[in-house]
């Protein structure tokens, strides 16, 4: 049997290189194809039956399961799969405390540390700038 179709994102744009993999029968997870740059896929094999199940997936999108009979010439829209991270840490070489922490390396950490060490100076400069604006506005009202 031959199956074919097109994989699209939620906006209807083609999803090139989306994965189409059989997940049932003797060829489960061994037989599949990638969509071309226009999102089109074609898969032909004698072991495919109308009840064979296929998973269509793409990184960052929720995978979907379809029977071969449902895929014939269909446009499949995949939905985004948003993942919320527990914590993001800018780290200068230290290991994260738990597995739910993402470490983002930064070459600007010396500058950030400089700001933290001298934050009272920057706060004072900000306060002076605010005072200057208030005095200037008061003078303009007269």
Give the confidence band of 102 by pLDDT, cuts at 50, 70, 90: very low
Residue 140: pLDDT band (50, 70, 90) is low
Q: Is the pLDDT of residue 35 over 80?
A: yes
- Model pLDDT for residues 39-53, shown as the tens digit of each residue: 999 999 998 999 999
Using alpha carbons, list the distances in angstroms from residue 130 to 119, 126, 135, 137: 16, 6, 9, 11
Q: Flag whether pLDDT at 21 surpasses 90.
A: yes
pLDDT-based confidence at residue 117 (cuts at 50, 70, 90): very low
Instruction: Tell me the pLDDT tens digit for each residue of 77-97.
Output: 999 987 766 666 665 555 655
Q: What is the CB neighbour count within 10 angstroms for residue 67?
A: 15
What is the mean predicted confidence (pLDDT) over 128-135?
A: 49
85/108 Cα distance (integer angstroms): 23
């Amino acid at each position: 049997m031959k199956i074919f179709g097109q994989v699209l994102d939620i906006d209807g744009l083609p999803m090139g290189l989306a994965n189409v993999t059989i997940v049932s029968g003797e060829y489960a997870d061994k037989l599949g194809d990638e969509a071309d740059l226009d999102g089109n896929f074609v898969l032909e094999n004698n072991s495919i039956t109308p009840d064979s199940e296929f998973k269509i997936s793409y990184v960052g999108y929720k995978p979907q399961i379809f029977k071969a009979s449902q895929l014939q010439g269909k446009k499949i829209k995949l939905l985004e799969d948003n993942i919320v991270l527990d914590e993001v840490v800018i780290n200068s070489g230290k290991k994260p405390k738990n597995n739910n922490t993402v470490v983002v390396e930064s070459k600007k950490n010396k500058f950030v540390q400089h700001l933290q060490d001298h934050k009272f100076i920057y706060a004072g400069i900000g306060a002076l700038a605010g005072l200057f604006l208030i005095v200037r506005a008061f003078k303009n009202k007269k």
